[in-house]
Amino acid sequence: MGFDLHGTAVGIIGTGQIGQIVATILNGFGCDLYAFDPNQNPECLQLGVKYVSLAEIFERCYIISLHCPLIPQTHHLINKQAVEKMRDCVMLINTSRGALIDTKAVIDGLKSGRIGYLGLDVYEEEGDIFFEDLSNKIIQDDVFARLLMFPNVIVTGHQAFFTHNAVQAIAETTLSNITSYENGICQNTLTCKKIKKK
């Protein structure tokens, strides 16, 4: 049995472009929106998103959705300590980067009932599992195989972006960046420095 989104406390970790879009959609459902991000997004503030600490997100929200980059500070952001702070039967969604989640800690959370629903489009060791048909093979990753045994876990295999529109936008952005670089216009200084070093 499911539950209504209206009036549900949702925590969005990372409110860049994607996090902002998620906030806009959930706002349309009438969710109570909370967020954690070192940089508050003015668009999210206009939607009524309340910026709080990570601890508050874990304690307050029934749904937690991850939309932050993988950097040293966010590696295993969802670990044993984080899971222990979450509400019982929380819904955890990760469509960002696999290593934001310590999978073994999340499995323990699923077994205890602390995590009631888990939706993953990414997985820390996805390189050997996603992007090919393994339906006639035995999965060698025991942790991933364990995840698939839970009835309240959905894994979509890094397919959330895989639409005609998204792939076209990725191709157009890539070509635009290459053209800008060739013309001496670099919009991402960090990327340009890396390319120039090569």
Q: Return the pLDDT at 69.
A: 92
- Quote the pTM value: 0.80
Q: Return the pLDDT at 147.
A: 87
Q: Return the pLDDT at 196.
A: 52
Q: Which amino acid does the sequence have at 174?
A: T
Strand ranges in 37-187 using DSSP code E only, listed in sequence order: 50-51, 63-66, 90-94, 115-120, 153-155
Token pair listed for 132: 């090919």
Collapsed DSSP state (helix, strand, coil) of residue 11:
strand
Which residues are part of the catalytic machinery? Answer: 97, 126, 158
Distance (Å, whole) CA 30 – CA 44: 14
Domain ranges of the chain: 9-160, 163-198
Closest C-alpha to 43, from 62, 21, 74:
21
Closest C-alpha to 157, from 176, 169, 144, 170:
144
Q: Which amino acid does the sequence have at 190?
A: L
Cα 133 to chain centroid, rounded:
24
DSSP lists the bridge partners of residue 34 as 11, 50
Distance (Å, whole) CA 55 – CA 19: 19
Cβ neighbour number for residue 160 with a 10 Å cutoff: 15
Q: Return the pLDDT at 170.
A: 83
Q: Return the pLDDT at 164.
A: 84
Cβ neighbour number for residue 192 with a 10 Å cutoff: 16
pLDDT digit string (tens) for the chain, length 198 residues: 788 999 999 999 999 999 999 999 999 999 999 999 999 999 999 999 999 999 999 999 999 999 999 999 999 999 999 999 999 999 999 999 989 999 999 999 999 999 999 999 888 866 566 666 667 776 777 788 898 899 999 988 777 667 888 788 888 888 988 888 888 876 555 555 545 544
CATH of 9-160, one of 3.40.50.10310, 3.30.9.10, 3.40.50.720, 1.20.120.1200: 3.40.50.720
Taking the CA of residue 191 as centre, how many other CA atoms within 13 Å lie in the half-sphere pointing to its CB?
Answer: 9
Cβ neighbour number for residue 110 with a 10 Å cutoff: 21
Q: Return the pLDDT at 124.
A: 80
